[in-house]
Amino acid sequence: MRMRPHRKALAACVVCALITACATTTRLTPDEQWEYTVTESQRLGRAPLKTGALRFRERQIPSYFSTVVIGSRRFEYVIRSDAEPFAGYRLDEEWNGDPPEPEGESVGRTVRNRGWYFAGYGEVRPGTPDGWIWIQRENLEAWVDPTAIETFAETHHLAAIHRPPTPPRTGVRVSVSVRQTFGTRR
């Protein structure tokens, strides 16, 4: 059966409408060089898929970190699953992110040039530049210059966070075949 041209065009429009995605972008403080974008993809008869992305100076931040704090906002990295239709960095709406008071040893020129120092969120040091962010990946916590994120990740051998592989299904499959031969007696 051949499809008529106007029906092809209508079918193409329907397909486009089904896979259309909407995006919401928010500029973040402290310096508005950060963007947070949530893209929503509609799925026919199912909950929409959402994907969150962080960008610094229009470069996307890879999924190296489980937690990122930018100014007074915290983002958690989420892996999409059957129960979770969101993937990527998600803004933690419930987090009360009052920046901590600096304490301890001041940040020196060497640390500024390197672009990071190891410390918990509440352990920000005096002299930490305003534009630095706090990151966490398992037991690794640091204050990092956003321009040094790639170098930090390479130095500490951080790979992107991915969905863990599905464990192999275990079980036993038994197949039995019975072969009977009937012959004639001689």
Q: Would you kindly state where each structural domain of the chain is located, as residue ranges?
A: 20-155
Give dist(CA 34, CA 152) in Å, integer.
18
pLDDT grade for 16, boundaries at 50, 70 and 90: very low
∠ at Cα 149 (146, 151), nearest 5°?
Answer: 135
Nearest to 163 by CA among 89, 90, 87, 91: 87
What pLDDT does residue 163 have?
Answer: 61
Of 27-31, 133-137, 181-185, the poorest mean pLDDT is in 181-185
Q: What is the Cα–Cα distance from 91 to 186, expressed in whole angstroms?
A: 85
The helix/strand/coil state of 43 is strand
What confidence score (pLDDT) does residue 29 get? Answer: 57
13: phi then psi, degrees, rounded to nearest 5: -65, -40
What pLDDT, on the 0 to 100 scale, is given for residue 10? 46
Taking only the tens place, the pLDDT of each residue in 69-109 is 998 899 999 988 877 788 999 999 998 878 788 888 999 99
pLDDT tens digit sequence for 171-181: 555 555 555 55
To which residue do tokens 């259309």 refer?
Answer: 20
